[in-house]
Amino acid sequence: MPRGRELIAEAIAREDVKTVFSLPDGFLLPIYEELEKRNVNVVTMRNEFSAAQAAEGWARFNRGLGVVMAPVGPGGVYLLPGLVQAMHSGSPVLAIAGRTPIKNLDRMAFEELDLSNLAANMVKYARTCISASHLARCLGDAVRTALSGRMGPVLLEIPRDVASDECDCDIEAGDGWRTTRRVFADPSLVKKARDLLERSSKPVMILGSGAYWSGACREALRLARKAEIPVLTTGFAVGCVPYNDIHYVGHAALGIPGNTPDLLLAIGTRWDEFLGFGSNPQLYPGNIPTIHVDIDPRIVGKNRKADIAIWADAKSFLSQLYRTIRGTSEVRRKWVQAARNTFDEIQGMSDQVVAPGDPIKPQYLVKAMREAFPKSTQYILDGGDTTGWGYMYLRAYFPGQVMWAHGPLGGIGAGIPISIAAQIANPRRRTVLLTGDGSFLIGAHEIETASRYCLPITVVIADDMAWGDVYHNWLVTGGNKELAKYALLQHRDYSRLAESLGAQALRVEDSKSLKKALARIARSKDCRPKVIHVKISQKETGLLNQVLLRER
């Protein structure tokens, strides 16, 4: 009969998870052994917060289950910030945390903690498994919950003795234990959406993270080309429509380039603050008819009334709509071209303000990165101002190519753990992280993990010696300049820190040496992580700040 630890390992292996992120302890080592027997690798991180973030990164880049394991007691508590981030991002993460033995329940055992109750409001599902047979059921319920509907994190708290107990039971994982069917839209609503779309002469499609998670990028592009619809992207959907495709017209947080459209087709996106809550007339005027489609019925019609509200998986709906579309018109082709022309003009103006000089402008740094690294490079963005600059000057040609580390919750410091997961998930691609000096130091210890596993991630630190978004936000809104001092940081040599943790590190203070440093790193065949510490101007206000200030 299988023991609890074998049930855990088998459930993970059956979900085709190849890598688990963790911190070791005596509870977990026997589970690691069972995972290795099933060809599942274990990557040990330097703290549980980072391990949870890396597991979320694995989920994002594989669009499947990510797994993190934490030691008994405080280890599980340290998972929670990463799990909350996964909850907001809709990332399916299975978190397994140890617990003191059942026999010692309520006896004041060392590290005793009721973690599942603590986590209940932070994840989709949380349970304490009280026996090996209960563990088998918990694993099935947890995996089904994580991967169904709007996906998200789940947590299982497993006492030490439960992990070693035997069980004559089935393992509820893999084929047959959960549905892989998609939620299709009501055909009558698809027909109504088709009719409204075909009457439109200037529609716009907005693709959100739901389209990315459902793997709907191909279907979205196919529909955009057939029906001649310009596409805006937001969240994880950046890259769903290639930057160089005529139908791509920018990031949805910046609004619609060109004239006002006459129809909004919102797929897998929420009308959140980045989109002006769907009610900011400068972005998305309220008098425009709207079709809203989402896998989560609680989101459909929230903040902005939907003329046609559809509960469905993004991939399913787009496939259904594509089959009903009968064609397009010359008017729509001209609309697409006009929207793209306006977008190109805006991008051209942005590039014109970029020039070498000292101190280095962050715009110039990001553009130099874009030119130095291969077109296939995957970029992670971490920090406030740095994320805005990254979205403005980097180019996404495939899904997930340019991804913000913190997601809609906004917690910074996840860049290095998520970059580690991205590099493991896509070993043939170069992974480059753009981070600020504040966000870098939150997760800098994981440079050692990248070094230990020989993961050649590249970390570019844009150092303005400040919590940049806080500093600029305060000054832009007319705050007292004296108080701005609390958002300032001091000069530190982050390259030396990175080097001490096993990285190949460079420091850059002028634009003349920047391109040489980037080229040197781009040519490097060394499997060590690379860190480029770049001193930048403190005067440039980031795009993300400007977007958020609209609604505050």
Residue 114's pLDDT is 83
Decide if 230 is inside a domain.
yes
Regarding whether 435 and 409 lie in a shared domain, the answer is yes
Decide if 179 is inside a domain.
no
Mean pLDDT of the chain: 92
Decide if 237 is inside a domain.
yes
Decide if 173 is inside a domain.
no
Q: What percent of the chain has pLDDT over 70?
A: 97
In order of 389, 391, 495, 542, the CA distances from 363 in angstroms are: 6, 11, 21, 9
What residue type is assigned to position 40 of the chain?
V
Tell me the C-alpha distance between 438 and 11, whole Å. 39
Cα torsion 223, 227, 232, 238 to 10°: value is: 20
Last residue of a domain, one of 105, 130, 164: 164
CATH number of 398's domain: 3.40.50.970
| Residues 368-375, mean pLDDT to the nearest whole number | 96
- Contact by Cβ (8 Å): 481, 475: yes
| Residues 50-77, mean pLDDT to the nearest whole number | 96
Residue 148's pLDDT is 94
Regarding whether 265 and 323 lie in a shared domain, the answer is yes
Residue 551's pLDDT is 62
- Contact by Cβ (8 Å): 113, 81: no
Q: What's the pLDDT tens digit per position in 293-345?
A: 999 999 999 999 999 999 999 999 999 999 999 878 899 999 999 999 999 99
Confidence of residue 283 (pLDDT cuts 50, 70, 90): confident
Q: What percent of the chain has pLDDT over 90?
A: 75
Confidence of residue 124 (pLDDT cuts 50, 70, 90): very high
Q: Taking 80 as the threshold, does the pLDDT of residue 110 lie above it?
A: no
Residue 126 phi/psi, 5-degree rounding, is: -145, 130
Report the number of distinct structural domains present in the chain: 3
Residue 232's pLDDT is 97
Q: Taking 70 as the threshold, does the pLDDT of residue 1 lie above it?
A: yes
Residue 135's pLDDT is 94
In order of 1, 378, 423, 446, 452, the CA distances from 456 in angstroms are: 42, 13, 8, 13, 11
Residue 539's pLDDT is 86
Q: What's the pLDDT tens digit per position in 503-521?
A: 999 999 999 899 999 999 9
Last residue of a domain, one of 345, 374, 396: 345
CATH number of 340's domain: 3.40.50.1220
Regarding whether 82 and 25 lie in a shared domain, the answer is yes
Regarding whether 357 and 337 lie in a shared domain, the answer is no
Confidence of residue 181 (pLDDT cuts 50, 70, 90): confident
Last residue of a domain, one of 301, 326, 345: 345
Give me the long-range contacts of 341-347 (CB less than 8 A, separation at least 24).
341/258, 342/249, 342/257, 342/258, 343/248, 343/249, 343/250, 343/257, 343/258, 346/250, 346/257
Residue 519's pLDDT is 94
Q: What's the pLDDT tens digit per position in 437-477?
A: 999 999 999 999 999 999 999 999 999 988 878 877 777 77
Confidence of residue 374 (pLDDT cuts 50, 70, 90): very high
Regarding whether 451 and 339 lie in a shared domain, the answer is no
For residue 244, the tally of other CB atoms under 10 A from its CB is: 9
Regarding whether 357 and 311 lie in a shared domain, the answer is no
Regarding whether 369 and 322 lie in a shared domain, the answer is no
What residue type is assigned to position 284 of the chain?
Y
Structure tokens at 486: 């609390």
Residue 174's pLDDT is 66
Residue 175's pLDDT is 66
Regarding whether 455 and 494 lie in a shared domain, the answer is yes
Query: Alpha helices of 373-478 — where are they, by DSSP H?
Result: 385-393, 415-425, 437-443, 447-452, 468-476
Confidence of residue 550 (pLDDT cuts 50, 70, 90): low
Q: What's the pLDDT tens digit per position in 137-163?
A: 999 999 999 999 999 999 999 998 998
Decide if 182 is inside a domain.
no
Residue 349's pLDDT is 82
Residue 544's pLDDT is 67
Task: Return the SS3 of 346.
Answer: helix
Decide if 171 is inside a domain.
no
Regarding whether 491 and 440 lie in a shared domain, the answer is yes
Regarding whether 313 and 365 lie in a shared domain, the answer is no
Decide if 308 is inside a domain.
yes
Among 43-47, 110-114, 323-327, 540-544, which range has the highest average pLDDT?
43-47
Residue 428's pLDDT is 94
Tell me the C-alpha distance between 441 and 48, whole Å. 16
SS3 labels along 54-96:
HHHHHHHHHCCCEEEEECCCHHHHHHHHHHHHHHHHCCCEEEE
Confidence of residue 176 (pLDDT cuts 50, 70, 90): low
- Contact by Cβ (8 Å): 308, 193: yes
Between 286 and 144, the higher pLDDT residue: 144
Residue 159's pLDDT is 94
Regarding whether 537 and 388 lie in a shared domain, the answer is yes
Decide if 375 is inside a domain.
yes
Regarding whether 108 and 22 lie in a shared domain, the answer is yes
Q: Which domain holds residue 386?
A: 353-549
Residues in a beta bridge with 97: 70, 157
